[in-house]
C-alpha cells in the first residue's frame, strides 16, 4: 500500500479523506469523474457538502484530513483553528485566488494550503471578450428587445473595437490570452503589471505603461490581476477621475478590485459609459445560488442592475468543460502530492 504522509507521521493504511465544501452538481460530477479515472493508489475518499465553509459548518469535516473549498468560502483564523483541532492538515483550494484564506494562521497551525494556479486561462479570457463585445455592441439589449418582437435599431449604436485602446491591469496567464485576442481585433493594447516581460510584449505587440497611463489612455479597461492589499479598489473615485469620458470597464478578476459605490456614482454621471462584471465585491452571499424568488437586499447590486449599460454575470467566466476538468485534475493531484511527498508545487505560502 502507498504511504501517505501527514503531520502525524507515515500511514500505510489510511486513504486521504477529503471534505468538499460549497459543492454544486458540477463539482460532484467532475471531481468524481476524475477521481475514479485515477489509479487506485491515487484515489481519495470524497465527501461532498453543499454548505459553505465557516465556523459552524467546519464540524462536517470531523472524519477527514483534508478540506477542499472554493473562492467564496471564508477560511478565517477561527475556521482554521477548528479544522486543525479536528486533524485537518491540508486546505485544497479548487480555485486560483487565495485571499479568502488566513495564510499566516494556517502556517502557524501547520495547515498547508494548495491551489489551482491556472485552469484553462483561455476560458476566462474568452468570456472577458464576450462581455466586452456584448457591452460595446449592446447585444444584451438587442436580445431582450427581439424577444418582445422589437426589431428597431434605435439606441443600439456601438463602436468599432479596431483601432481603440484597451488597457489591461494584470498580465498573468489570463491577461496574456486576453491581450492576444484583443490584438486579433486590431486594438492598441497597453498593460500595467509590476513584473514586466519585454520579450513577451514584443512578441504579442503590446506596450507596458504605468498604472496612471492605463486610466488616462484607455477607451476600455479590463482587470486581470489578483486581489492584494495593493490592488483592492484599484478602480476607485480617484482613478475614475483620470479616465476618459465614456470609458468601459470589464472585470472578470476579483470583485473587490472595484470600489462599487464609486463606479455607481460614475455611471450616474455618465463618466463611465459601460460596466461588465462577472465578479462582485459582496458576491459570497449571492453568487452560485438561485435567489430569484427572494427580495434582493443588496441595495448597491440592485442599483447596478438598474443601469441599461451594465452587464452582470454570476462568476461564470471559468465555467467550461475544459476548465472544470483542469480544476478537478489539479486539485486531486495537489492532494496526492502533498500526502505522499509532504509538499506540493502549488502550495501557497504567507507573504
Q: Which residues are catalytic?
A: 254, 283, 315
Locus of grid cell 507596458:
208
Are 106 and 80 spatial neighbours (Cβ–Cβ below 8 Å)? Answer: yes
Q: Residue 43's Cα: distance from chain center in Å?
A: 27
Are 279 and 72 spatial neighbours (Cβ–Cβ below 8 Å)? Answer: no
Kindly state the cell numbers that stand for 286.
Answer: 449571492
Residues whose CB is less than 8 angstroms from the CB of residue 172 and which lie 6 or more positions away in sequence, other chains included: 121, 193, 224, 225, 226
DSSP alpha helices (H): ranges in the chain?
A: 25-37, 77-85, 103-109, 121-136, 139-147, 173-184, 198-204, 211-217, 237-241, 260-268, 299-305, 321-341
d(Cα 168, Cα 186) in Å, to the nearest integer? 15
Calculate the alpha carbon distances from 131 to 89, 137, 305, 306 in Å. Answer: 40, 10, 15, 18
d(Cα 287, Cα 110) in Å, to the nearest integer? 31
Locus of grid cell 504579442:
204
Question: Please, what sign has the CA dihedral across residues 291, 116, 118, 322?
Answer: negative
Amino acid at each position: 500500500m502507498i504511504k501517505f504522509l501527514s503531520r502525524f507521521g507515515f500511514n500505510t493504511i489510511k486513504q486521504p479523506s477529503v471534505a468538499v465544501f460549497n459543492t454544486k452538481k458540477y463539482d460532484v460530477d467532475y471531481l468524481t469523474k476524475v477521481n475514479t479515472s485515477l489509479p487506485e493508489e491515487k484515489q481519495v475518499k470524497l465527501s461532498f457538502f453543499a454548505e459553505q465553509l465557516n465556523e459552524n459548518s467546519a464540524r462536517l469535516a470531523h472524519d477527514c484530513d483534508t478540506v477542499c473549498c472554493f473562492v467564496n468560502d471564508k477560511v478565517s483564523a477561527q475556521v482554521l483553528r477548528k479544522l486543525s483541532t479536528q486533524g485537518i492538515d491540508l486546505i485544497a483550494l479548487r480555485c486560483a485566488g487565495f485571499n479568502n484564506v488566513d495564510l499566516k494562521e494556517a502556517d502557524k497551525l501547520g495547515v498547508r494550503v494548495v491551489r489551482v494556479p491556472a485552469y484553462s486561462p483561455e476560458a476566462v479570457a474568452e468570456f472577458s471578450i464576450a462581455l466586452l463585445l456584448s457591452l460595446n455592441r449592446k447585444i444584451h439589449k438587442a436580445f431582450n428587445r427581439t424577444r418582445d418582437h422589437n426589431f428597431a435599431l434605435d439606441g443600439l449604436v456601438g463602436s468599432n473595437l479596431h483601432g481603440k485602446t484597451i488597457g489591461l491591469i494584470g498580465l498573468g496567464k489570463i491577461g496574456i490570452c486576453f491581450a492576444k485576442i484583443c490584438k486579433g481585433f486590431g486594438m492598441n493594447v497597453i498593460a500595467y503589471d509590476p513584473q514586466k516581460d519585454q520579450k513577451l510584449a514584443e512578441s504579442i505587440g503590446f506596450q507596458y505603461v504605468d498604472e496612471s497611463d492605463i486610466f488616462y489612455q484607455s477607451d476600455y479597461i479590463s482587470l486581470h490581476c489578483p486581489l492584494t492589499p495593493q490592488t483592492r479598489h484599484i478602480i476607485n473615485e480617484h482613478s475614475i477621475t483620470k479616465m476618459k469620458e465614456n470609458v468601459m470597464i470589464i472585470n472578470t478578476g476579483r470583485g473587490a478590485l472595484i470600489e462599487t459605490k464609486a463606479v455607481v456614482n460614475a455611471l450616474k454621471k455618465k463618466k463611465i459609459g459601460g460596466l461588465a462584471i462577472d465578479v462582485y465585491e459582496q458576491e459570497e452571499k449571492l453568487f452560485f445560488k438561485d435567489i430569484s424568488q427572494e427580495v434582493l437586499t443588496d441595495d448597491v447590486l440592485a442599483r447596478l442592475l438598474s443601469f441599461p449599460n451594465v452587464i452582470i454575470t454570476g462568476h461564470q467566466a471559468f465555467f467550461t468543460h475544459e476548465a472544470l476538468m483542469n480544476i478537478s485534475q489539479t486539485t486531486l493531484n495537489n492532494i496526492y502530492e502533498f500526502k505522499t511527498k509532504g509538499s506540493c508545487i502549488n502550495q501557497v505560502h504567507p507573504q
